[in-house]
Every structure is written in C-alpha cells, then in structure tokens.
Structure 1
Amino acid sequence: MLNTDPYNRITLRSAVTRACAILALGGVAAPGIAVAQATEEGASGGLEEVVVTARRRSEGLSRVPISVNALSAEQLLERSIRTDSDLQIAVPGLTIRQTQGNNSLTYSIRGQSADTFSGSPSAVIAYMNEVPLTISGASTFYDLDSIQVLKGPQGTLFGKNTTGGAVLYTSAKPTNELEGSVRVRSGNYDLLEVEGVLNVPIVDDTVLLRAAFNTLERDGYIDNILTGDELGELDRDSGRVSLTISPGERFQNDSVFAYSESGGTNTGASYTFSVYECGETNNGYALNCASSSLYGPFMDTVFGFEGAWAGYLAAHPEAYPEGLAAYVEEQKRLGYYKTQHPSSVEHDGEDWIFTNHTTFDLTDNMQIKNILGVSRAEMDTMQPQLGAPFLTIITGNVDTGRYGNEMEVESISDEIQLTGTAFEGDLDYIVGLYFQDDQADTLWPQTYFDLTPWAPPTTATNNFRITTETQAFYAQGTYNIERNTGIDLAFTAGFRWTVEDVTIEQLKQADAFGAADQDESFEEPSWELGVEWGITDELFTYVKGRSSFRSGGFNGSAPPVDAGATGGGNKFDVETVDDVEVGLKFRGVLAGMPTTFNVAAYKSWIEDVQRVEFPDPDGPGGLASIAVTANVPEMEVEGVELEASLAPTDWLELGVTGAYTDAEFTDGDVSLFGIDYTYSPVANTPEYSGSAYGKLTFMAGEAGDLSLRADLYAQSGFYFSNTADSIAPRTKLDSYELLNARLDWRGIFGTGLSAALWARNLTDEEYFVGGMALASSLGHNAAAVGEPRMYGLELAWEF
C-alpha cells in the first residue's frame, strides 16, 4: 500500500540520508562500472572499466570529470530496463515525469525540466547516436550499445544547449561476425514482446550490416468504469537497420535508420487528486473554485434558480450526484486503478530517424567527423486530465469535431567536428560547428465546462507552427601537465556561441488564425572551466564551473500578443544557469574487495526560470483562462549524487545509488494580469531518491550461469505544481518504494539458450508518478498513477 504515514516518510528520508553517509565514509562504488574477476596478479582491482563518451571522445568512466551514469547493454538486460520510465531506478537524481500519461514523458534532472504547455525547449535533451531527438514520446529499448545520463548544464560540447543534462542513447553497431538473437517476453496483462537481431558482414571488415526489430503488446491496467476502456494499453512496433562502410583504415561511414509506430491508450492524469471549493484560501491567496461551483449543488446559486443542479444530473446520469468536490473522496474509495474519464484516451504515434556518422583520420593525431541527423515524428493523442465523470476539460473541440492533441515535428541537423591531440599528447581538443532546423506543428483542441442543458460548453483551438533555426560554434580543450611535472593534473576550458532564431505562425483552425507571425533571435554564450587531478591510479577528483542557457520563444497556447507573460502575451525570455560541481571517483580494491565509488556535489544558480502558468484574466473563479510561460526571477539547486558497488566474493555483488536534491525558488514572485503569483516549491524534484541492489551468482560453468538480482528503489514525496505554496495547494505526492527482481539462467548447458523470470514492483505498491495541476485555471488537480506489479517469463536464443 502507498505509504502515507508521516512517521514512515521521515523514516524513508532518514534511511536514505544514513545510506549516503555510510557510503561516503565507507567508499563503495558505482553500478555504472561492471565488476569482473581479476585475471592476473595485480590487475586493477579486477574491475572492467566502462567506456563513456561524455566529452565526445572515448574515456574510462572513472576518469571523466563529470557526473555521468552509464549503462551497458548487459546491465540494461540484467536490470530489466525496457523503457524510458525504468531509467530513474538506475540513475540517481533522474526523474521521469508523467504529466499527461505513459506515452508522454519528460526528463527532470537537478530541478530542471519543462512544463506541459510551456513551449520551452527541454532542459534535458535525449540523443540517439549523437543526434537530438525532437519529441518526448515513450520508447522501447532494444539492441542498444549503451545509455549515458549526463547531469548539469551541457552547453559547450553537445548539439543543443541544455540546463539540466543530456541522455545519450547509442545503438549497437554492426560487427564482423555472422550472429543474431531472438528474445521473447510474456507476462501478466497479456504482455507479449518479441525482438530479434541479425548481424551480417557483407564484405569482411569493410561492409557490415545489422538489423533489429521489436514488437510489443500489453493490456491496460486502469479501468475506465464510465466508458469500459482500459488505460495503459501498449501496441508498439519498431525496427532499425545499421550499415557500416569502412574501405580503409582512415575512413568510416556509419548509417542508421530507425522506424517506430505506437498505439494503445494513455493513462493520463486519471486520478482526481484535489478540488477547491469557493471561499478557500491558501497563505492569503484565493483559490479558483470554478469546477466545484459549476459541478455541484452550488450550481443553483451560479445560475440563480433552484433545481439547476437536479436538471444537470437528469441530463447527465453518469455524473457523481454529490458533486466534483465530494468526488475526491469517491476517487480514494475507487482506488488507483479505476477512473471515470468521460472521453476517449486513444494514442497513435509514428516516427523515424536517420543518423549518419562519417569520420576521416587526417593524421594519426587529427580526425574530422560529420554527424548528420534527419527525423520526423507525429503524434495524435487523447489525454485524461482529471478522471472524474464531469466534462470540465477534454482534448477535443466539440464545435469543430477535432479531437486529440496533434504534433508533427521535422528536424534536420548537421555537426562538423575536428578532434585531435597536440603537444605530444598533452592537449586533447575539439572544435565544431552545429546547425539545426526544427519545425513543430501543434494542434490543441479543447472543450471546457459542458453545462448542458443550461449552458453550452466553451471551446478553444490552438494550432500553430514554431520554427527554430540554430547555429553554433564551439571549442574545448584539456591540457595535462603530467609529462612535464609528473603530476597527473589537467585543465579544461570550453566555449560556445549559439544563435537561435524562433518564429511562430498561427495556422488554420486556430482561434488566433490571421495574427501576424512573430519572431525573435537569441544569442548567448556557454562556457566551462575545470581542473582534474589523478591523485593515484585508483583515486580521481575534479572541480568545474559551467554556464549554459535555454532559448526564449513563444508559448503557442497563449494569445499572440507581442509581450511577455506579465503583459498577457506569448513571449518568454532566455533562461540561464551557472553551476559549480566537485567530484571524487575511486576504482580499486578496499579490504581485498573490488570497489568503485563516485560522488558529486554541486550548486546551480538559475535566472529567468521558464515555468508555465494558467492565469485567469477574470480573477479566481472566472471561466476564462490561458496558458502563459513566465520567467521566474531566480532559483537555486544544490545537492549530492553518488553511486557505489563492491564484490565481497566472486558470487556476490552489492551496490547503492543515492541523490539529495535541494531546489528552491529564491525569488519566485511573478505578476500576471495584475495578480501576484508566488512560485514555490520546485515541482517534480524529490528531495531524496536512491536504490540498493544485490546480485547472487549461484552457479557458473558447463550448466550455464544462474544468477538472482534484486533492486529496491525509494524516493521521497514531491510536488507536481510549482505554485503549491500559493494558488495550488494539495499537489504533493507521497513517497514510495519499488522492488524489482530477476532470476537469470544464461547459456543453458553450453547452448545459446537463456531463460529468465522477472518482476517489477514485486510488492504491488500503489503510487503516483506525476500530475496535472490545473489549479489556477479550473480549480482542480489530477495525478498519474504508476504501474502495478508486472511479471513474466523471458526466453532468448543467441547464435
């Protein structure tokens, strides 16, 4: 059951704090590094180093001066990490937000994210083979080489400026072996997933081909007792083809084409979480009570005659007779996995991406590389945004007959890099140019407040195109003085200049169609300075300072008024971030045990923070509302992140991850339409999160490898509104814990067969993973529930 007792929440917080303290003192280490048996005397602790590309070159994780988590293909498999939403269990400080459901995800790192309906560029950008992905749809992981999660501002090296971090997906490359695999998973909720890989060397060491596919079906786990639908159904089909051409030692061309289509239903914010009644205040702020007054006995007063509410119920027999405010308790009685959303929840998506890497070694110490990316994605989706049997809001316009939020994004990018070494290898450098053209068409049809027979519903449609053109130049170098001084000490300096031109155009069907196009240009620098010191072969430390930004732009759901949010317009300004990070990494042997330990402490200062709000021009309780993106003056985030593992014996591996994140608006006062708002606390940022795991190897040899792994993840509660202290109270989600396990039998009796039993959320914990705060516009809030217990059997054959 969900843990709602205050004492137990304090216990969770204390447990995570104590675990962090024990790890910091004891020095155990990072699950991002695989533990292997020493094969020779004096081997470096018997540890297999994971190679990462956080600085656009291959380096060992234990010597990279940045907080980065890396997961190899093997680690993804043994932890049963199959989708984006699984990542936060393995990566401390990463939160995967679900605001509008399981098919629409947003990454949050160190308090940095992007609000729904904000129009802001993402604070954390995902890349596939170094090409930025342009849409935040959920995906299925298959045939990946690795996933890397970089934390903090990424401005001087990566394609797009980000203030929170980057997630790097790298697909498996073709090899010079004829090989392949087939994997089948089945489980509860009628899960059936099949994936396959075939690798063919067409011309030995010269032309290599790899093809992979994945198909997935699963029933939903939330029952809509009003319509009979199941929310959370999955139906995804994906395929990928990779071709490597290497006619000589100095030249290589890698091309990858991937296609995916998805269907099913959205979970959405289907749990009615809180509703405000007229007269309620919070810290001196009057709360919006539009929904409760219109959908309840108070309707008689609103319309000015007795019997209005009775007449509404007669026309809408599915409505809850006690009204929307009372439905909050009814939702608790129904539980997490039942809803009464009065509309469709269908989801359809299709996307493809082409990436091409061309590398040429100009000399033994200099290489030129070109990275081309072309992608297109489209999505048509109906989102539950409340879950109660009242039509307060649906994603459809009943007047025009258009239903579903639609998005179509096209992007082309190109990056040219020159990398190399100089001064007898003392200097590593990279110089690059980056270009991207991105066009996003968005259609948001909406219907509010169906009050028939007494009043027709209010409808609105936003339909707009935002075009972003990006040009950037960057350079970064690291100089090591060890050759001349004997001290493994290096200095890093990086700089980037970015120009982004943003244009918004109102399209047909938009309420604002005919308004003049708007455009703005933003030019900003990014920089990095750092020092790194290899104290010993096992111990490494670093300190760095960085600065980056998110471009300003336009909120397409706001009126096309040439003004910022304060003036009721659709414009918002650049967000900037400066941070300092200090890290310590250890990889070696402690007390005879292979051990690794990574810890990073940081502090960030963010100005003009981009946050969405839904102000009501008519004041609290009015029926008119819009979405605007405000620049909140100041925010600070500080915290500590660690990951650790050790191998006490050759049959036991233990590990822990942890993150402490203290995020606050140091100046959160904003005025919209003459009404003062206070932003606090920072949403979607649990203060404490972490996991612990253990892996037992029962046997290894001719019969195969039999192992059992269990992971326990826990996080403290968090808010899903940035204005919970003022206009959006009762928007805090409780803490929760999840237990996952996998029993694996590899290489059964020396064959290519493997089998596994797996389970996620083994204790069937009931919990929330996000929410939709519509407090200021409609006077209600809804939450998104997490998945119940999932379990199944997996069979695989490798050849």
Structure 2
Amino acid sequence: MTRTLALRARRNRLARVTTLLVGLPVVAPAWADERPADDTKAAAMDEIIVTARRHAESLERVPIAITAIGGDQLVDRQIRTDSDLQLSAPGLTIRQTQGNNSLTYSIRGQSADTFSGSPSAVVTYLNEVPLSISGASSFYDLDSVQVLKGPQGTLFGRNATGGAVLYTSAKPTDETNAFVRVRLGNLNLREVESWVNVPLVEDKVLLRIAGDLIRRAGYIHNVYNDEYLGDMRRDGVRGSLTVKPSERISNTTVFQFGHANGTNTGASYTYSVYGCGQTNNGFPLTCSAGLLFGPGLDSVAGSGAWAAYLAAHPKAYASGLLAYVAEQRKLGPYVTDHPGGAGHTGTDYNLSNTTIVDLSDDTQVKNIFGWAKSDVISQQPQLGAPFVTILTENVSTGENGNEVHLDSWSDELQLQGKALGRNLTYIVGAYFQRQRTDTIWPQTYFDVSPVIAPSAVTNAFRLMNDTDAVYTQGTYDLTSAGLRDVHFTAGVRYTWEHVGISQLPRSTYTYGQPDQHRTFQDPSWEVGLDYQATPELFTYVKTRGSFRSGGFNGAAPAVNADATQGGNVFASEHTQDIEAGVKYRGEVAGRPATLNIAVYNQWIQDVQRVEFPDPDGVGGLSSIAVTANVPSEEVRGMELEASVLPTDWLKIGGSLAYTQAEFTDGRILLFGQNYLYGPVGDTPRWSGVGYAEVTLPTPARLGDILARVEVYTQASQYFSNAAGSIAPGTRLPGYALVNARVSWSNILGSDLSGALFAKNLLDRAYFVGGMTLASALGQNAAAVGEPRTYGIELSAKF
C-alpha cells in the first residue's frame, strides 16, 4: 500500500491521452497501467488508487469529496506553490492576509484568522505527518496531492473542521535514473529542479535525492524606497531512504530542508479608510488612522499640527490618508508607497519515518514518526500608504520583523486490516503530538511624531500544545446481510489537547504574568452508507462531527478569562455536517466520461474569530487583538467535477464549487461593545475552472505534443468577517484568469522534453485576500495577485 495515485501509462501515445480522462478533474493521475494498444476505452477506465482513508482503495469507491492530483499533472497544470492549488480544487481557497508569505487554507468557509492563535481549520500533511504552514513553499518531486473536504477527525493526526490537504513525496524505486528540469521566464525567473534515484541494494535499500532552486524578481514596486516586493529566493532538498529487510517489513525515512529569502508583497494596496462620523448599518466606524494622518490632526493636536507632521515626513501624502485611497487607485495594484521594510527569511526542517509490518495478508501494523522545526522572521508592508499607522517593528527597542519559532514531534501507531470473513475493513490507532511555538510580534502604531509620539509594543509568548488521541473506524460490507454492494462506515476518535501559554521576556507588558493551562477534550465521529449501484455509478451519504481545540490568544491581555470578559482564553469550535455524493465513471454517447457531485450542509458552533476591540473607548488608540467565539455559522454548498473525451485527441472538463456561508448568530459583546459578524470572509460564492487539452496527431517518432488551456474564475469575496457592520469596504471583486501550456515530450524520440507556459495570460489585475484593521485603525488593505508570468521549460531524463 502506498500513498499515491496509481495509473501506469500506456506506452501508446493515443491511449495515454484517454487514460488522462479519469484524472481530470476527478484526479490527475501520476502514471497509468500498461495495456494493449487497441484497448483505449479500458485504459480510460483504469482504476485510480488513493489513500484518503489511510489505506489503498479506488477513488471511485471512496465516500469522500476529494480532489487528487498526480505529480505529472502538477506540472501540466502549473501548480508550483500552495497558492496555485485552488485553481484545481473546487471549494479550496488559499487566502493571503499579509501577502505571499502569509497563507491560510480555507475549505467550505472554514479557516483561521491572522493573530488568532486558533489551530488551522484545514490541516496539511507531508507523508502523513502534520505540517505547520509558516509561508509559501515550492512543489517539487511530489507523487500526489489530495484535497479532502469537510470535517476531518476520525482518521488523521489533528482534528480539522474544514478539511485536509495531503502531500506525498515521490518514493525511492528499484531503478537507477535521474531527472533535471530548468525553467526560465519573465520577472527574471530561474529555476532548477532535479532528482536522482539509486538502489543501493537491489530491492532492499533504495535512495532518492531531490532538490529545487528558484529565483524570481518582485512585481510590486514600492516607490517609497524603490524596492520591489515579491522577490523570491527559495532552496529545497529532500532525501528519501527505503529499507526492506524482508518482504513483510519496510521502513522509509524522508528528510526535507527548505530555506526561503525575499520580500513580502504584504497587503500593500490601500483599499479603504473611514472618516469620523461614518456609520455602517447603525455601527459607528473607527476613524483613528484617517483622523490622525490628515488635516484633521489639527483638531486633535492644535492648529499647525498637520503642517509640522508634513515637515518632519516629506514623503507623506500631503492630502492625508483619506485622500490617498483615490491616489492608490490611480497608481494601480502593482505600485505601493509604504515606509516599512518587507524582508522575509524562513528555514524549515521536516523528518518523517514510516515503518510498515505486514503481520499477515489481512493485517498490518504501521508507525509514523514526524519531527518539524521552523524559524521565520518576516517584515510586512501591511497597509500600503506612506504613513506609519502600523509597522512590524518596535521603534523603542529596535526589534524588527515578526518571528515564529516552531518545534514539533509526533507519533502515530496504527493497526489495520480485514476481519469477519474480510467483510470488515478496520483501522485502530493512537496519535501523540508535542508542539511548542514561540511568537514575537514587535509593532509600532501611529507614528505622528513630532506631534504625537508613536505607541510601540512587543508581544512575545510561547504556546504549547500536547495532543493525545485514540481512534477507530471500520467499513462493513452488507452484502452478507442481503444488501448487495452496500457498505456501512462508522468511526470515532477521542482527543485531548493540553494547551498552555507562557509570556516571554521580550513581551512589553505581560512578561512575569503566570503561565496559563487548559485541557480541551471532545470526540470526533463519522457514520455513513455507500452503494455501488452499477459498475459505473457509486453513491454515498454520511454525517460527521469534529472540533477545533480552544486555546489562548497571545496578543490579548494575559487574563484567565474569555474575550467577553477581557481575557485571552477562547473555547473549542464544534462542527457537524451531512454530505451526499455521486461518482460516475463510464461513457456518455459512447465516449469515456467522469462526473463527481457532492452536496453538503455544515453547522459550526463557537466559531473562532479575531477582533480588535477598544477596551478604553478612545477610538481605536488602544485596540488589542482577541479571539472570540461567535455563536454559530452554517455553510451549505455543492462541488462538481466532470470530464469527457469527445475524441481521441481532445479532452474537456471542469470543476465548480458553490459555497453559501453565513453566520446564523453573529452577535458578541466585547468590552461593552456590540459586534456583529457577517458576511463570512474569504469564501467566494462561486469558483471554478474549465479546461481543454489537445494532443496533436504527430508521428510517434517526433514525440508527444500536448496543449492545455484553462480558465479559472471566482465570484467576489470579503477579506473581513464583519463587512456588514464595523468593516465595510472589504469586498474584493471577482476575477477570471487564463493559463496555458504547450509541452513537447520525448523530442524526436529522445529523453528531452520542453514546454512553453503562461499564467494569467491576459495580465488581469486581481486581489487574493487582505488585511483588515477596521476596528483597530479604521484602515484596510488588499493583497494583490501575481501579474502575467510566462517562460520556457526544458527537462531531461537519464
């Protein structure tokens, strides 16, 4: 059993094209089975193997809404970083809050706010070990990516209310070969990706080493200091060693190192600012930033105050921050004017060790050990305007850049197999994780010197999370009970999360406060039925429940109470859902076709959301970040993926997601102030992609030429969860992107291949998230998506 998508490609070029049908968009297969040259329809119907339920099984018989993409298709679809994934997985949004190196995964309206301290609603895994996402990464030498949608809790390492994304690296094989790929493009793109595979002892000791080096210039011009934001310098290396002392025992160790340098794009586009006296649906708006950074300063500090400020800050916009919103629109999305730095550096180490022992043909023991260490220092050009409303810098101490230092180890022991006459497929397991995260946030607010001295503060704290869980899940074939091809699945998991927080010496106000500790514990569960109605048609219905553990917000006062009482504690978030789906893989009008549809309704209670209340009632000048529990939210939607092969040389298809999310009770009270949440942020109502692939009818001796064009589109979305009340002006418009790639494989029968590629071919400007400081400062900024990128790719196999 392996964590891969399985299809072995047939050597005949025409059959290989038809085989791809089953992978797009339902999956993008890595390889395809070798078959007779005249069996094109059979090739198109090859079984696809996934491991979404922790054991190998056919995708078409897995009762889960899942999108899976093989390693080759990651290349064909130009999925090079985390941000690209949403182009191929309906319902998945990779949201940017503070720019390209501050990413959060969102599925079905479930995410985690910046500064919240909440566990992620969507947990990512590398080789079955949970990852902590501290920034964007580059994809190289991956075997597959699987996106599981909806609550996850019974089978995976961490509870998740939104979903899970599973990355699986390519494993060593029993062949001696190597590969290198070079990409060159605009923005001075230079990338080299390579791997080498060596069997040290035939079929016993196998080694694979892979690496990736990428350099690219920035694309947002900061006219304040003539710097370009979005500069990228990343290096990665991965070593994988598989040892098989016997036919029934295997051990695979994977070590990965990554280092990133460059500049953050930040939320660098000044999007909206509020003036004093403005209201929205009866809610007064914070106006501190617009008041202090403009002619209104005279009303606060006396006549001549604004002139004195401009004299001391000659690069400031003389008409003030409120007027700068219109100026930003004139400058356009790829120009900013921000006085802060934007440097980013990060180092990540990841280790996984997986041991599999086959006790018998029907019973297996599996142990998965993981270790991770991450260190990040990052400056954020957060709001774009030429005023210091907020900086990731403490001007009093000289501390510069947000720091995150994470250490984690985990271990998972599983027993899985078949029983009761092989009618029951079961898994029993235990999971343990110990994680420590040190966070240092130096900040400076409102530098209106020499008129008003800035306010500088550093939050420095350590969050500790000890997770213990036990779980079991089984699927029983009811054929023996007279219900042919009907299966019943039930699973349960119980999790204890012991969470603690310590204030670190660099903390300005809270160092010396006593440590805080709480334990959050709850079950997760799943119950479902599925039915293989015909060889081509599979249906299922299921219900699940899961939770996100509560914890502590390190940016809130170190008071052992919840946010409604002015403290830093927040409760667990709970969710339940119902999902029904249909999966079809067969023929339409005699041609191979696939169709996957899932519909769902999800309920969430005590939704974890960040807010910036004003405890002293002085108009935002003393705002703090707290994590509150919003009473309830409901999400309903539909996800569809379809493809058809109308001819042997043409494949067309697409995917579509409809997500309707709303706070059914969004009212909370913080420090005596009423807050009303809604609409739900970072969740476009519609998103989808349509594509066409054409294989040119070239003679076999010339090689294979494949052209792919796709259009991704999404509706508008909000980058605040309170746009209907205290945070108007945070709605981002919808957009559409055109991507294209033409590849020539095995050029003239050789081992050389090449490609031309382009993303955002029409060079559309668009926004991919934002930073809302509406209640804290009365100012919001948006994160800009990448402009047109294009280039050439050359590769060789050895």
Counterpart of 1:88 in 2: which secondary structure?
helix
Cα deviation per residue 1:164-208 (whole Å; 9 max; x = unaligned)? 000000000000000110000010000000011000011110000
The letter of the residue matching 2:193 is: E
Shift of 1:389: 0.3
Number of the residue aligned with 1:238 = 236
Number of the residue aligned with 1:336 = 333
Unaligned runs of 5+ in 2: 1-21
Shift of 1:50: 2.6
- Greater mean alpha carbon deviation, residues 484-493 or residues 648-657: 484-493
Rounded to whole Å, the distance in 2 between the matches of 1:204 and 1:28 is 32
Rounded to whole Å, the distance in 2 between the matches of 1:39 and 1:423 is 41
Rounded to whole Å, the distance in 2 between the matches of 1:617 and 1:414 is 43
Number of the residue aligned with 2:423 = 426
Shift of 1:295: 0.5
Rounded to whole Å, the distance in 2 between the matches of 1:42 and 1:611 is 52
The letter of the residue matching 1:519 is: H
Rounded to whole Å, the distance in 2 between the matches of 1:106 and 1:42 is 41
Shift of 1:649: 1.0
Number of the residue aligned with 1:17 = none
Rounded to whole Å, the distance in 2 between the matches of 1:612 and 1:408 is 22
Counterpart of 1:699 in 2: which secondary structure?
coil
The letter of the residue matching 1:742 is: R
The letter of the residue matching 2:173 is: T
Cα deviation per residue 1:206-242 (whole Å; 9 max; x = unaligned)? 0000000000000000000001111000000000000
Provide closer, same or farther for how the CA distance between residues 357 and 176 of structure 1 changes in structure 2, counting only shifts above 3 A: same
- Does 1:531 find its partner at 2:532? no
> Does the 8 A contact of 2:254 with 2:353 survive in 1?
yes
Rounded to whole Å, the distance in 1 between the matches of 2:265 and 2:741 is 26
> Does the 8 A contact of 2:25 with 2:88 survive in 1?
no
- Does 1:720 find its partner at 2:756? no
Cα deviation per residue 1:127-177 (whole Å; 9 max; x = unaligned)? 000000023311000000000000000000000000000000000000000
Number of the residue aligned with 2:697 = 699
Match of 2:473 among 472, 476, 480: 476
Rounded to whole Å, the distance in 2 between the matches of 1:426 and 1:342 is 66
Number of the residue aligned with 1:353 = 350
Number of the residue aligned with 1:318 = 315
Shift of 1:509: 1.2
> Does the 8 A contact of 2:103 with 2:133 survive in 1?
no
Number of the residue aligned with 2:27 = 32
Aligned pairs for 1:114-129 within 5 A: 114-129=112-127
Rounded to whole Å, the distance in 2 between the matches of 1:378 and 1:60 is 39
Rounded to whole Å, the distance in 2 between the matches of 1:38 and 1:765 is 45
What is the TM-score normalised by the length of structure 1?
A: 0.95
How many residues get paired?
772
Number of the residue aligned with 2:708 = 709
Q: Structure with the greater relative contact order (CA < 8 A, sep ≥ 6): 1 or 2?
A: 1
The letter of the residue matching 1:695 is: E
Aligned pairs for 1:66-145 within 5 A: 66-145=64-143
Number of the residue aligned with 1:21 = none
> Does the 8 A contact of 1:288 with 1:620 survive in 2?
no
Aligned pairs for 1:627-776 within 5 A: 627-700=625-698, 701-776=700-775
> Does the 8 A contact of 1:576 with 1:607 survive in 2?
yes
Number of the residue aligned with 1:291 = 289
Aligned pairs for 1:427-576 within 5 A: 427-483=424-480, 485=482, 487-511=484-508, 512-576=510-574
Rounded to whole Å, the distance in 2 between the matches of 1:317 and 1:227 is 13
Number of the residue aligned with 2:167 = 169
> Does the 8 A contact of 1:288 with 1:621 survive in 2?
yes
The letter of the residue matching 1:260 is: G
The letter of the residue matching 1:562 is: N
Number of the residue aligned with 2:376 = 379
Rounded to whole Å, the distance in 2 between the matches of 1:484 and 1:300 is 83
Rounded to whole Å, the distance in 1 between the matches of 2:450 and 2:161 is 49
Cα deviation per residue 1:737-796 (whole Å; 9 max; x = unaligned)? 000000000000111100000000000010000000000000000000000000000000
Shift of 1:455: 1.8
Rounded to whole Å, the distance in 1 between the matches of 2:483 and 2:441 is 62
- Greater mean alpha carbon deviation, residues 418-427 or residues 400-409: 418-427
Counterpart of 1:657 in 2: which secondary structure?
strand
Number of the residue aligned with 2:16 = none
> Does the 8 A contact of 1:696 with 1:708 survive in 2?
yes
Shift of 1:619: 2.8
The letter of the residue matching 1:423 is: L
> Does the 8 A contact of 1:31 with 1:655 survive in 2?
no
Shift of 1:33: 5.1
Provide closer, same or farther for how the CA distance between residues 744 and 620 of structure 1 changes in structure 2, counting only shifts above 3 A: farther
- Greater mean alpha carbon deviation, residues 156-165 or residues 75-84: 75-84
Shift of 1:77: 1.1
> Does the 8 A contact of 2:270 with 2:782 survive in 1?
yes
Number of the residue aligned with 1:306 = 303
The letter of the residue matching 2:271 is: F
What is the TM-score normalised by the length of structure 2?
A: 0.95
The letter of the residue matching 1:739 is: V
Rounded to whole Å, the distance in 2 between the matches of 1:423 and 1:589 is 36
Cα deviation per residue 1:648-685 (whole Å; 9 max; x = unaligned)? 11110001100000000000000000000000000000
- Greater mean alpha carbon deviation, residues 306-315 or residues 661-670: 306-315
The letter of the residue matching 2:125 is: Y
Counterpart of 1:85 in 2: which secondary structure?
helix
Counterpart of 2:309 in 1: which secondary structure?
helix
> Does the 8 A contact of 1:31 with 1:656 survive in 2?
no
The letter of the residue matching 2:350 is: I
Number of the residue aligned with 2:403 = 406
> Does the 8 A contact of 1:28 with 1:644 survive in 2?
no
Shift of 1:32: 1.4
Cα deviation per residue 1:391-446 (whole Å; 9 max; x = unaligned)? 00000100010000000000000000000001222110000000000000000000
Counterpart of 1:56 in 2: which secondary structure?
coil
The letter of the residue matching 1:199 is: N
> Does the 8 A contact of 2:527 with 2:543 survive in 1?
yes
Shift of 1:555: 0.3
Shift of 1:43: 5.5
Rounded to whole Å, the distance in 2 between the matches of 1:52 and 1:450 is 54
Shift of 1:61: 1.2
Provide closer, same or farther for how the CA distance between residues 553 and 598 of structure 1 changes in structure 2, counting only shifts above 3 A: same
Rounded to whole Å, the distance in 1 between the matches of 2:791 and 2:502 is 48
Cα deviation per residue 1:520-554 (whole Å; 9 max; x = unaligned)? 00110000000000000100000000000000000
> Does the 8 A contact of 1:506 with 1:517 survive in 2?
yes
Rounded to whole Å, the distance in 1 between the matches of 2:586 and 2:480 is 24
Provide closer, same or farther for how the CA distance between residues 43 and 710 of structure 1 changes in structure 2, counting only shifts above 3 A: closer
Counterpart of 2:307 in 1: which secondary structure?
helix
The letter of the residue matching 1:501 is: H
Cα deviation per residue 1:317-371 (whole Å; 9 max; x = unaligned)? 1000100000000000000000011011000000110000001011111000000
- Greater mean alpha carbon deviation, residues 119-128 or residues 486-495: 486-495
Shift of 1:31: 4.0
Rounded to whole Å, the distance in 1 between the matches of 2:400 and 2:751 is 49
> Does the 8 A contact of 1:29 with 1:597 survive in 2?
no
Shift of 1:614: 0.6
Rounded to whole Å, the distance in 1 between the matches of 2:134 and 2:257 is 15
Rounded to whole Å, the distance in 1 between the matches of 2:25 and 2:485 is 23
Rounded to whole Å, the distance in 2 between the matches of 1:335 and 1:141 is 31
Q: CA RMSD in A?
A: 1.4
Rounded to whole Å, the distance in 1 between the matches of 2:483 and 2:683 is 43
Rounded to whole Å, the distance in 2 between the matches of 1:136 and 1:598 is 33
The letter of the residue matching 1:706 is: I
> Does the 8 A contact of 1:44 with 1:588 survive in 2?
no
Rounded to whole Å, the distance in 1 between the matches of 2:133 and 2:86 is 19
> Does the 8 A contact of 2:134 with 2:376 survive in 1?
no
Shift of 1:513: 0.2
Counterpart of 1:505 in 2: which secondary structure?
strand
Number of the residue aligned with 2:189 = 191
Cα deviation per residue 1:363-391 (whole Å; 9 max; x = unaligned)? 11100000000110010000111100000
Rounded to whole Å, the distance in 2 between the matches of 1:276 and 1:792 is 42
Rounded to whole Å, the distance in 1 between the matches of 2:655 and 2:47 is 18
> Does the 8 A contact of 2:26 with 2:596 survive in 1?
no
